[in-house]
Amino acid sequence: MAILRDLLTRLSGRVESNVSLREYTTWRVGGPAEVLVEPAGIGDLCLVVEYARERDIPLTVIGNGSNLLISDEGIGGIVVKLGPRMSRIVIGEGFIQVEAGARLAGILTAARDAGCGGLEFLAGIPASVGGAVAMNAGANGLSIGDRVLEATVVDLNGKVHFKTHDELGFGYRTSALHDEAAIVVSVKLGCFPKSAAAIRAEVEQHLARRKQTQPLEYPSAGSVFRNPPGETAGRLIELAGAKGLRIGDAEVSRKHANFIVNLGAAKSREIRQLMFQVQRLVSEQTGIWLEPEVKLLGRHEATE
């Protein structure tokens, strides 16, 4: 494969073809990547972005895969995985500088050990920081955008830009990065002095609540649908009688209705079909069409 040979000679990170993406998503579904690249740093990332643009090759970027539904057919072109090779964490005075591939759990551990408070609300979100910032992930009444001071991004021409908090345009589960199609490379998060014991106690409290209210024993992508204004998607799904609905091994969780869990061997198409069935039932019952919070990648069959 020409793409594979070219990238192997240009990049210092990992380059492989026909790699199953199932293990790269928290739902544990999805087909293969035609070519998978794990950049070793920002230089690698800029090179692969430029390479794809110059040759008009489709380019997809993923992080920890915690908010993705990848089709059973997989993803063509180049899939860039930002992970451990780009996950450095640096603690400063009143801030934490982190690369996009760093997982939130690792950031919380570093913050606790350094006595840096303010990020505890992120406990239990199974995301990397790049994806979390792009979608403004949050919990417990706060979002990561509330803590972002600035970010370094790469545009689709392979050029590096620095964005201030205001330029990132954070909103409910979104940011300006969606419209600009820019790739987060690193983020500067604000924090404040707090004892390690107090940080640990708050993190454990958030984790215990998640364990009590969410189906953590099964693979999932967290909340599937956005909360409509003044409502919660979970309550609407329950009201529509959709809790416990199942297609194959995909099931609307009996513990939290806004979760769809993989009971073992679910297919991406089954999850997509179940999502549409939930949307239809909620619409019929309430007149509200739920918007997905998860991102669909690859070619999904039409459900309407």
Q: Kindly list the catalytic residues.
A: 173, 223, 293
Contact of 221 with 67, CB cutoff 8 Å:
yes
